[in-house]
C-alpha cells in the first residue's frame, strides 16, 4: 500500500512512510531541495490475531526507489526495532551512508548481519551530539533524548525554512542517569534558531497519567525482588535496556543469578556491555540455562524476552509446558517489566490465566506505576515550549 502524506513549501517535502497513526515502523522522508534525508528505518511486528505467516511489516520504499539518486543518508534515532528493524531490507535496495550513535549503529549492524539477506555494507558512521554534517548547506545535527535504551538521539535538520526537528521516541525524566539523559540546553538552542516543523513522538499523547521517574521504577523492582522467595521469571523486551539494567541491579542486590533464554537478548546485552552502556555489579551474574538445576529457587532470575519483539507468546509456551528451555512451576513469580501494546491485552490476559493454572503468580510494573518510554501530554508540551 502506498501511504503518502506530505507537507510542501518551496522545495521542502516531509513525507511519513510509516509510524504515523500506528505503533512502530517509524520512517520519514525529508526532501530538501535535491537531497533526501531518511529519518529512521523501522519495522512493525504483527500484533494480536492478525497477519498469520507474516514475520514483520516494513515501510513502502516506492517513493525512495523513484528518487534514489537524491538520498543523502539514513539517520537513526535509537536502537529499537521500530527505528532500525527495516534497515536490512532498505540496504538490500539502496547503498547510502547510515548515521547513528555508537550503540544504535552496533545494534543496526547486528540486525543487518542476522537478517539472512546477502548484504555487503559497511558505510556506517557513528555520531554524537557534537557532530554537525553539512550536505551542501543543509545541516544535520543530533541531540540527546531520554528513552528506554541508551544513546537515543533526536535529529534536527536545518533548512532555509527553519529547523525540522524529529524527536524519535522520547520522554523527560529529570532523574535520568548518564546514558539516558536529555540535553535540554541543545534542544532550547535549536528552538531559539526557529523550528519550522516538529515531528514528535506522540504514542502516549492521550495518556491521563504521567510517567513516574525511573528511580521509582528501580525501587519497585528492588521491592519485588526483596519480597519474593521463589524463582522470578522476568518478562521483558530484549532491547529495553533500561528495564533490563534495573532487573540486573536487583538480581545483584539480592544474590540471584540470571539465566537468559534466547540468543537475541544475549547478543544485545553483549553489545551493550562491551560498549559500557550496561553495567554489571557482579561479573558472574549470568549463568547458562543448562546450569539452572544447580541453584535454589530463591537464587534464580530467568530473563524471558521472546522473539519478534514480543515475549508474551514465549511466556504462554512456558505456562503450557511447551517451552524448550524452562517452564512455569508452582510458586514461580512471573514479573512483567515492560508494558505490552494495547492490541495484546487479550493475549496477555489469556497467558496470565495459563500462568496461574501452572501454579505461578503474575505481577506487572504497570499494576502500580506508569513507566513507558514515550512522551505524555506534559512531556509533549515541554518539548513544544523548548
Digit-coded pLDDT (tens) for 299-327: 999 999 876 556 888 888 888 888 888 88
Q: Residue 310 CB: number of other CB atoms within 10 A? A: 18
pLDDT in tens, 11-60: 899 999 999 988 889 999 999 989 999 999 999 887 655 666 778 899 99
Q: Residue 55 CB: number of other CB atoms within 10 A? A: 10
Contact 58, 86 (CB under 8 A): yes
The whole-number pLDDT of residue 7 equals 54
Query: How does DSSP classify residue 310?
Result: B
How far is the C-alpha of 241 from the C-alpha of 251, rounded, in Å? 15
pLDDT in tens, 249-291: 999 999 999 999 888 899 999 999 999 999 998 889 999 988 9
How far is the C-alpha of 34 from the C-alpha of 50, rounded, in Å? 40
Q: 348 pLDDT exceeds 90?
A: no
pLDDT in tens, 64-87: 999 999 999 999 999 999 999 999
**313 CB-contact burial (10 Å; exposed 0-12 / middle 13-18 / buried 19+):** middle
Measured in whole angstroms, how far is the alpha carbon of residue 41 from the centre of its chain?
13
Report yes or no on whether pTM surpasses 0.85.
yes
Residue 368, CA atoms < 13 Å, CB-side half-sphere:
14
Query: Which is it for strands 132-135 and 124-126: parallel, antiparallel or unpaired?
Result: unpaired
Could you give the 3-state DSSP secondary structure of residue 31? strand
Give Dmax (Cα) for the chain.
68
Torsions phi, psi of 241, nearest 5? Answer: -70, -25
How far is the C-alpha of 353 from the C-alpha of 59, rounded, in Å? 36
Amino acid at each position: 500500500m502506498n501511504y503518502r502524506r506530505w507537507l510542501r513549501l518551496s522545495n521542502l517535502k516531509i513525507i511519513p512512510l510509516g509510524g504515523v497513526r500506528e505503533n512502530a515502523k517509524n520512517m520519514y522522508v525529508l526532501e530538501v531541495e535535491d537531497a533526501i534525508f531518511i529519518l529512521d528505518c523501522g519495522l512493525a511486528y504483527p500484533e494480536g490475531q492478525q497477519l498469520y505467516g507474516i514475520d514483520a511489516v516494513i515501510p513502502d520504499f516506492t517513493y525512495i526507489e523513484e528518487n534514489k539518486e537524491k538520498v543523502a543518508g539514513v539517520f537513526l534515532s535509537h536502537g529499537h526495532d521500530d527505528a532500525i528493524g527495516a534497515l536490512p531490507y532498505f540496504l538490500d535496495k539502496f547503498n547510502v551512508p547510515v548515521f547513528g550513535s555508537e550503540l544504535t549503529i552496533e545494534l543496526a549492524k547486528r540486525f543487518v548481519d542476522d537478517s539472512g539477506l546477502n548484504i555487503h555494507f559497511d558505510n556506517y558512521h557513528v555520531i554524537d551530539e557534537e557532530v554537525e554534517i553539512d550536505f551542501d548547506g543543509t545541516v544535520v545535527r543530533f541531540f540527546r533524548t531520554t528513552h528506554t535504551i541508551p544513546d537515543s538521539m533526536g535529529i534536527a535538520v536545518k533548512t532555509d525554512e527553519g529547523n525540522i526537528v524529529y524527536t524519535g521516541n522520547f520522554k523527560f525524566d529529570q532523574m535520568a542517569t548518564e546514558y539516558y539523559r536529555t540535553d535540554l540546553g541543545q534542544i532550547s538552542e535549536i528552538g531559539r534558531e526557529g523550528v519550522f516543523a516538529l515531528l514528535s513522538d506522540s504514542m502516549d499523547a492521550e495518556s491521563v497519567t504521567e510517567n513516574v521517574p525511573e528511580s521509582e521504577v528501580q525501587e519497585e523492582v528492588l521491592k519485588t525482588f526483596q519480597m519474593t522467595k521463589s524463582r522470578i521469571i522476568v518478562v521483558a523486551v530484549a532491547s529495553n535496556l533500561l528495564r533490563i539494567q534495573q532487573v540486573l541491579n536487583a538480581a545483584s542486590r539480592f544474590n540471584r543469578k540470571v539465566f537468559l533464554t534466547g540468543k537475541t537478548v544475549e547478543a544485545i546485552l553483549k553489545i551493550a556491555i562491551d560498549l559500557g552502556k550496561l553495567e554489571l555489579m557482579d561479573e558472574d551474574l549470568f549463568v547458562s540455562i543448562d546450569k539452572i538445576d544447580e541453584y535454589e529457587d530463591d537464587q534464580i532470575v530467568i530473563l524471558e524476552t521472546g522473539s519478534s519483539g514480543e515475549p508474551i507468546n514465549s511466556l504462554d509456551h512456558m505456562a503450557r509446558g511447551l517451552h524448550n528451555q524452562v517452564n512455569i512451576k508452582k510458586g514461580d513469580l512471573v514479573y512483567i517489566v515492560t508494558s505490552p501494546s494495547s492490541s495484546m491485552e487479550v493475549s496477555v490476559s489469556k497467558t496470565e490465566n495459563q500462568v496461574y493454572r501452572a501454579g505461578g503468580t503474575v505481577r506487572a510494573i504497570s499494576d502500580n506505576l506508569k513507566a513507558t518510554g514515550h512522551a505524555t501530554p506534559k512531556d509533549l508540551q515541554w518539548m513544544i515550549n523548548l
